[in-house]
Amino acid sequence: MSVLLIEPFYGGSHKQLMDLLQEELQEDCVLCTLPAKKWHWKARTSALYFMQTVPTSSNYRILFASSVLNLAELAALRPDLGKLKKVLYFHENQLSYPVQKCQERDFQYGYNQVLSCLVADVVVFNSAFNMESFLKSIGKFMKLIPDHRPKDLEKIIRPKCQVLYFPVRFPDVSRFMPEHKLARLEKVIGVKRSGDAYQSEGLPGQQESRAVMKASDAHPESGLCEPQPGLCTTQHEGLPSPPAAPVQAEAPESTNPCQGEDKQCLTFNLSNILSGLDYQQRPLHIAWPHRWEHDKDPETFFKVLMKLKEQDLPFQVSVLGETFSEIPDIFSEAREVLGSSVLHWGYLPSKDDYFRALCAADVVISTAKHEFFGVAMIEAVHCGCYPLCPKALVYPEIFPAEYLYSTPEQLFKRLQNFCKRPDIVRRHLYKAFHKIGALAVFK
């Protein structure tokens, strides 16, 4: 038990990473977690909780925690843990995390992360965008202090920092794919079908990814204060695609928008999609697999779709992703306006149903105003979707320019063309499998 894994917010991508680390480290780690509820309270108070609950051991050598934890507080409260090699992992940073109003940004959360970096021995970010947006914001952020401001914090922290892309272990989704996607996949990466499964020998980036995981001691997050062998993180894509943010992990503190309505919202019936017309004759199928929150900018997404609807362009849409206590009003408005164009609406608790929905889709859209990695988009690409992402945030780091747009109008024009000619995306060979494959961990 030489590695101590601590995750104050054990849900989504935070849980996925910790589960993967625990599976890789097996008996050589102890995992301590708190439920993925009331994030703000976890960021403020979890150090005190872990002070009392993390078991004492002379075997610990490394402490790995996500940046939700105030590492400085824990190191002070538990001097025995402060002596360990401390690795801090950033899924997101609070210095550049978008808020609806400037006044809503709570200074304390970003300040805690800066303190944690100063105490840590190694600081790991899931993307270069995440790292640079954090480091370059420190100076401006500290100017919020009215006087006696600390100096040169970026220079102190930067040498500790490195980028280690979020590791994703992709499941075999070939059994969910329509025939045209299977045929396209064979062309792109040269895999061969063996019965209903694919042989993934030699997939690009596989060996590099395994080497990174084995060489790094900086990838843990979460569990209960005891080893839990057998957990696995095969919840993200599976072929050549990068890993990213919490997608279909458990939906902590979530509310199901379909509760009390048609229970078909809770399952995804692929036969309803694949029966009837020849697949190439079906309307364009658009997927939006993101959290139902303002930072994912659902307003822009739905306004583009409503404009397509106004022009009587044929398309279907599956709106997936987790929901929380407050759902933006645009969702109820959009569901009414889009009407029969809605194929699926709501969170899919089943991983198989989730991947089945993505495999049935043609295009996956992000309109995010915040994204430090973007697992959902990577999963969708793994499932054969054509990605359209903002030319901003982390996306240019992962996706080639062909899949980026600069304005909502550009997004509309791309979708308008695809609605008229869905065969374009169905015949398209994705251009960046080599790039995405290098970020993935394959089973």
DSSP one-letter string for 158-197:
GGGEEE-PPP-EE---GGGS-HHHHHHHHHHH--EEETTE
pLDDT at residue number 192: 54
pLDDT value for 44? 95
> Which range (125-129, 213-217, 265-269, 417-421) has the least confidence?
213-217
DSSP character for 3?
Answer: E
pLDDT given for residue 441 in this prediction = 38
pLDDT in the model for residue 183: 85
**pLDDT for the residue 188:** 66
Q: What is the pLDDT of residues 143-171, one digit of tens each?
A: 999 999 999 999 999 999 999 999 988 88
pLDDT for 191 beyond 80: no
What share of the chain has pLDDT > 90, as a percent? 64
**pLDDT tens digits, one per residue of 362-381:** 999 999 998 999 999 999 99
Condensed to tens digits (0 to 9), the pLDDT of residues 347-364 reads: 998 999 999 999 999 999
pLDDT, tens digit (0-9, with 9 covering 90-100), for 257-291:
333 344 334 445 544 454 445 667 899 999 999 98
Amino acid code (one letter) for 94: Q
Share of the chain above pLDDT 70, in %: 74
Q: In this structure, which amino acid lies at residue 287? A: A
Instruction: Check whether 423 has a pLDDT greater than 90.
Output: yes
Span 234-261, average pLDDT: 35
Mean per-residue pLDDT, 207-220:
36
Question: Cβ contacts of residue 151 below 8 Å, gap of 6+?
Answer: none
Q: Global pTM?
A: 0.76
3-state secondary structure at position 440? coil
**Triad 235, 241, 247: Cα angle to 5°:** 35
Q: What is the pLDDT of residue 271?
A: 46
Across 88-97, 130-139, 185-194, 211-220, least confident range: 211-220
Q: 10 Å Cβ neighbour count for 131?
A: 20
The enclosing H or E element of 391 equals none
pLDDT, tens digit (0-9, with 9 covering 90-100), for 51-71: 999 999 999 999 999 999 999
Mean pLDDT of the chain: 81
Span 320-333, pLDDT tens digits: 988 877 899 999 99
pLDDT in tens, 4-51: 999 999 988 899 999 999 999 999 999 999 999 898 999 999 999 999
pLDDT score for 103: 52
- Between CA 201 and CA 190 the distance in angstroms is 10
Under 8 Å between Cβ of 63 and 7? no
Asked whether residue 432 carries a pLDDT value surpassing 70, the answer given is no
Crossing angle of the two packed helices 298-310 and 330-338, in degrees rounded to 10: 20
Alpha carbons 366 and 387: distance in angstroms, whole number = 8
Say if residues 442 and 169 touch (Cβ distance below 8 Å). Answer: yes
Q: Which of 86, 67, 89, 93 is nearest to 162 (CA)?
A: 89
CB contact at 8 A, 234 and 169: yes
Residue 403 has pLDDT above 50, yes or no: yes
Distance of alpha carbon 197 from the chain centroid: 26
Phi, psi for 119 (deg, rounded to 5): -85, -30
Max mean pLDDT range (200-214, 319-333, 383-397): 383-397
**What span, in angstroms and rounded, lies between the C-alpha atoms of 377 and 398?**
10
Region 379-386 average pLDDT: 94
